[in-house]
Structure 1
Amino acid sequence: MSKEMNNRQAYFNYYIEDKYVAGIVLLGTEVKSIREGKVSFNDAYCLFDKNELWLRGLYIAEYKLGTTNNHIAVHDRKLLLTQRELKRIQAKMKERGFTLVPLRIFFNEKSLVKVEIGLARGKKVHDKRDSLREKDIKREISRALK
């Protein structure tokens, strides 16, 4: 099962310094919706609360065959990392300009849902223009080679 959802806007808006793979606490209907690809990263970010890492703003659509046990589409979800990783991330977050953003959601080889989060620094407007220019150049080169 190679179902994978990427956050393309994160790579456009941020420089990604480090990446971490975290487990996520989900309900059964949330997993079924992720299998269907009903995930949106708009306005999603990570934050620390009482030395725990939470994912806020991730939209997972309600499961269409769910009954009264269906989940709420947008709520805080706990991320699971080791204490060492959490402390390392917290130390980096205290530096000015860093934020944590979800980069992708995927199923690992044991069919568990994992979230790749990135320690990111925001890009300026001119950096975004450079990214678009580089992307256009790569596209033109690939077209010329075909």
Structure 2
Amino acid sequence: MADSKVNIKNRKARFNYEVLDTFEAGIKLLGTEIKSIREGKASLQEAYCYFADESRLMVKNMHVAEYSHGNINNHDPLRERLLLLHKRELQKIKAEVEKGNRTIVPLNLYINDRGLAKMKIALAQGKKNYDKRESIKERDVKRDMDRALSR
């Protein structure tokens, strides 16, 4: 069970946002959802997190494909899912978001050593266009240097 390394990443998150702080959260899932995630059939591309009320952090638009061997009681692929964090962490995140210009972005979804689904979320601030261009420039320079070294 723990042999298969499931690590689903949100590749655009670090490009579009400057990560300020990260947290590890559990996810409340249905049976067919965890089976589908273990098969690696999930996506975080359009996902974002928000507070439903004072003490509930939810993830929305996380796509978990329907389980292939599921029946009529299969889950909805885009349903909202509850993130499980300690109360202290929730209060810290909520305070930062209320300050303004902060958002909560899922970075990756994985199965830990005990077989539980975990999501790494980040407290992030949106990048400006010039910051994104700088990231592209740094990536291109690094790629060129790696190519030169490999020759």
Tell me, yes or no, whether TM beats 0.5.
Answer: yes
SS in 2 for 1:94: helix
Alignment of 1:15-94 (within 5 A): 15-51=18-54, 52-94=56-98
**TM-align CA RMSD:** 0.9
Q: Deviations over 1:11-37 (max 9, x none)?
A: 110000000000000011111111121
CA contact (8 A) 2:27 2:84 kept: yes
Q: Deviations over 1:23-74 (max 9, x none)?
A: 0000111111111211111321111122210011101111111111211000
Which residue identity lines up with residue 114 of structure 2 in the other structure? Answer: K
Aligned to 1:106: 110
Structure 1 position 142, deviation (Å): 1.0
Give the distance between the partners of 2:108 and 2:18, measured in 1 at CA.
15
Structure 1 unmatched runs, 5+: none
TM-score scaled by length of structure 2: 0.94
SS in structure 2 at match of 1:105: strand
Determine the C-alpha separation between the residues in 2 that align with 1:111 and 1:74. 23
Q: Where do 4+ consecutive residues of structure 1 move more than 2 Å? A: none
Letter in 1 for 2:110: F
Structure 1 window deviating more from structure 2 (60-69 vs 7-16): it is: 60-69
Q: Aligned to 2:77, what secondary structure does the other structure show?
A: coil
Number of residue pairs the alignment of both structures matches: 146
The one-letter code sitting in structure 2 at the alignment partner of 1:92 is E
Cα pair 2:11 2:45 within 8 Å, conserved: no
| SS, match of residue 73 in structure 2 | coil
2:9 maps to which of 6, 15, 24:
6
